[in-house]
Amino acid sequence: MTEVCAFAPTEVCAFAPRSSACAQPFKTSRTRLGYALICMVALAMASALPTIASAERQVEAIAAQVGNEIILLSEVLELSAPVEERMRQAGVPASEIATVRKNALDRLIEGKLLSSVVGRLELDADREEVDAAISAIASDNNLSIEQLFRSIVSHGLTIEEYRAKIKSEVERSKVVNAMVRSRIQISDEEIEILYEEQFSQQHSGGEEFNLLHLMVSAPGERAQSPDAACQIVAETRERIESGELTFGEAAQQESDMNPERGGQLGWMHRNDLAGWMTDSTDKMDAGDLSEVIRMPFGCNLLQVIDRRPFERIELEDAKPQLQNIVFQRKTEEKYTEWLDELRKHTYIERKTNFGG
């Protein structure tokens, strides 16, 4: 997984096809919406490039025309800038950076197309719908609204800008509902095939743990040495044990692993845990904190939320979630087909393809 920007892996979500963006198996539809919305805004939360070549500062230049609407070159560069920065730092060739800009332009063209449909069908999202979407994002990431907004602001986005982007994505979802989802049918055979893909390698018994994990890397942003990392973890453990912080709050503040999820690993079978984890978890009951665990990559702290005998997931138990996955896949396929038709019937002129 790549570096996390706010609440989503930016390189994965930034300009990936809609069919692949942040696909999280076995999430509820609300959670899936939450991840999609987070992906939509992740780029805007990152810092823009410190400098842009003078040729790229031509804010009046037109990158494309979509119907009667125009897309400025500056809009493309603003959207692609965070990913470009990472690519330049990694020494990626200029041709690949041009592809990022081309993909950013594609996303902006898609946005203009959707906006025209939203206006024509009167599918504008109202304030209550935007509030509900933001609440879902916060809940799915185990954050309060205030914590979510603080993170938004800390990444350089105003609350109103964030709300505008969420509004846009809610409207996209409404367009998809109106134009695509009614056409989708799912067969039992499709569900059975997916069940085999997802569950054929299930464990036959044993035990599973619901875990929280806090890690301070060494060397890392917070600690330059293993001793310094373990000191931070030890002090954090004391604050958790005293009741000053919950584990989730501590992970959001201190952890280099899943801070946006409060350190949640979820339910994991014992056989899937690393050996250094089972050395601790085997001795722990629900609610217990581990001791500070020193490893070559940093210092760690675990908490067992619960533990239970593992039970196989049968087809009937998994069916609602499997149906949701198939439904989402087909939705994206139909959406792509519908969008292609919309492009054919809309005047679109690209002033630049960025070499693509």
Q: pTM of the prediction?
A: 0.53
Share of the chain above pLDDT 90, in %: 54
Mark whether 120 and 151 lie in a shared domain: yes
| 194, part of any domain | no
| 196, part of any domain | no
Decide if 144 contacts 91 (C-beta within 8 A): no
| 195, part of any domain | no
SS3 of the chain: CCCEECCEEHHHHCCCCCCCCCCCCCCCHHHHHHHHHHHHHHHHHCCCCCCCCHHHHCCCCEEEEECCEEEEHHHHHHHHHHHHHHHHHCCCCHHHHHHHHHHHHHHHHHHHHHHHHHHHHCCCCCHHHHHHHHHHHHHHCCCCHHHHHHHHHHCCCCHHHHHHHHHHHHHHHHHHHHHCHHHCCCCHHHHHHHHHHHHCCCCCCCEEEEEEEEEEECCCCCCCCHHHHHHHHHHHHHHHHCCCCCHHHHHHHHCCCCHHHCCEEEEEEHHHCCHHHHHHHCCCCCCCECCCEEECCEEEEEEEEEEEECCCCCHHHHHHHHHHHHHHHHHHHHHHHHHHHHHHCCCEEECCCCCC
Mark whether 77 and 157 lie in a shared domain: yes
Decide if 148 contacts 138 (C-beta within 8 A): yes
Average pLDDT, the chain: 82
Among candidate residues 302, 301, 141, 296, the one with its CA nearest the CA of residue 220: 296
Does the pLDDT at position 47 exceed 60?
Answer: no
Mark whether 264 and 302 lie in a shared domain: yes
* CATH, residue 277: 3.10.50.40
Mark whether 12 and 93 lie in a shared domain: yes
Task: Please tell me the total count of domains within the chain.
Answer: 2
pLDDT in tens, 217-260: 988 888 889 999 999 999 999 999 999 999 999 999 999 988 98
Q: How far is CA 56 from CA 204, 253, 328, in A?
A: 58, 37, 38
Does the pLDDT at position 59 exceed 60?
Answer: no
Structural domain for 170, as ranges: 4-185+330-350
* CATH, residue 12: 1.10.4030.10
Mark whether 22 and 167 lie in a shared domain: yes
pLDDT in tens, 71-120: 999 999 988 988 898 899 888 888 888 899 999 999 999 999 999 999 88
End-to-end alpha carbon distance in the chain: 27
Measured distance CA(202)–CA(190) in Å, rounded: 19
| 56, part of any domain | yes
Q: Which amino acid is at 193?
A: I
| 179, part of any domain | yes
| 87, part of any domain | yes
Decide if 209 contacts 303 (C-beta within 8 A): no
Decide if 285 contacts 201 (C-beta within 8 A): no
Mark whether 271 and 174 lie in a shared domain: no
The pLDDT of residue 82 = 85
Residue 73's φ and ψ, nearest 5 degrees, are: -60, -40
| 66, part of any domain | yes
Mark whether 83 and 179 lie in a shared domain: yes
Mark whether 150 and 44 lie in a shared domain: yes
The per-residue b/e assignment along 147-183, b for 16 or more CB within 10 angstroms, e otherwise, is ebbebbeebebeeeebbebbbbbbbbbbbbeebbeee
| 324, part of any domain | no
Mark whether 13 and 149 lie in a shared domain: yes
For Cα atoms 165, 175, 70, give the angle at the middle one, nearest 5 degrees.
Answer: 60
pLDDT in tens, 291-327: 999 999 999 999 999 999 998 889 999 999 999 999 9
The two three-digit tokens of residue 204, written as one number: 């036959």
Decide if 218 contacts 226 (C-beta within 8 A): yes
Mark whether 303 and 171 lie in a shared domain: no
The mean per-residue pLDDT over the stretch 250-277 comes to 92
Decide if 249 contacts 262 (C-beta within 8 A): yes
CA 167 to chain centre: 17
33 compared with 3, residue with greater pLDDT: 33
Mark whether 89 and 134 lie in a shared domain: yes
Mark whether 303 and 338 lie in a shared domain: no
| 196 class by beta-carbon count within 10 Å (0-12 exposed, 13-18 middle, 19+ buried) | exposed
